[in-house]
Structure 1
């Protein structure tokens, strides 16, 4: 009987170890995505500024998204870990500056951040708790200063530029190949909307992307003012 109980205990420990291993390997890399507010707003749908006021004319964080090498991604991984604003109260002012909401109706960012944590962040809990998730994304934005990278290459808001020149400028500054997502303005012209960079599973360093999302831009795209 004692031997049987020991066997059950050992099997349970092995099962827990296996589940922990699976959890720790539940994704292959992160997409770190920043969006240009001028392009978000310059569409037929338009935008609403946050209740805290118009954001700065800078790229804002969209999210830090766990992904698989085959192009798919996990989502809404832990319904028992809802967004808790008190967990990031010390980050709130930085979040409002670097991770502003532009959705309508106007908000303070809480709905946006809640969506990002619950859909994407909970899938990285083996690496990052809620506070670490948002703090890490804020740190990555400082590492990947996209606006400065583009300005250093003579690419400034209000002009039209080749897609290649934009990619080259970011690669020169970040050291890794970006993926550019375009949207269309109210006249149907392609414009620089979002920039994706890839991050390793520890969320500590940029890497080359194992796979890029699907989508298309024209060879020449607008970089609208904001």
Structure 2
């Protein structure tokens, strides 16, 4: 059962790691999925609380939205090239993300999620040795408002 141990950081999770796919959900199901899929792989390092605390700390270090904003890329429903998105993030964070997209009801490619790799002890970001598979984006990507 996830999320019992994180009651003291729920407000941080809600503001920094929300589930945008289902805004009416309080996030517990989403975070339970993240813990089961990713956190349990790090159980030798972290309990549930430590995993989510590390994730929030690492997210705060990257400041991806700031990197994108500096390059004039914002979640405004506008379209941007893959090169512009990846370049802005790499320039602003020092790391190349893997960009994952989904399709809206009209078939437009939308920015869905970004992948970054973390050192095994969760102390810092590292370049990904391999890029994860995912949903391809194409070159014209909508950055939907949220």
Task: Answer yes or no: same fold by TM over 0.5.
Answer: yes
What is the TM-score normalised by the length of structure 1?
0.60
User: After the TM superposition, which residues 19-168 of structure 1 pair with which residues of structure 2 at under 5 Å, given as runs?
Assistant: 82-85=1-4, 87-104=5-22, 106-156=24-74, 157-168=76-87
Aligned residues: 144
Render the CA deviation track for 1:116-172: whole Å, top value 9, x for unaligned: 212321111111111110001111111111111100011122311110010000001
Counterpart check, 1:208 vs 2:131: no
The corresponding residue for 2:88 is: 169
> SS where residue 121 of structure 2 aligns?
coil
> SS where residue 116 of structure 2 aligns?
strand
Q: CA deviation at 1:107?
A: 2.4
Counterpart check, 1:225 vs 2:122: no
Structure showing greater Rg: 1
Q: CA deviation at 1:103?
A: 4.8
Q: Name the CA shift for 1:181/1:89 in 2 (closer, same or farther; >3 Å).
A: same
Q: Name the CA shift for 1:84/1:188 in 2 (closer, same or farther; >3 Å).
A: closer
Q: Name the CA shift for 1:100/1:185 in 2 (closer, same or farther; >3 Å).
A: same
Structure 1 distance, partners of 2:98, 2:112, is 11
Structure 1 distance, partners of 2:67, 2:84, is 11
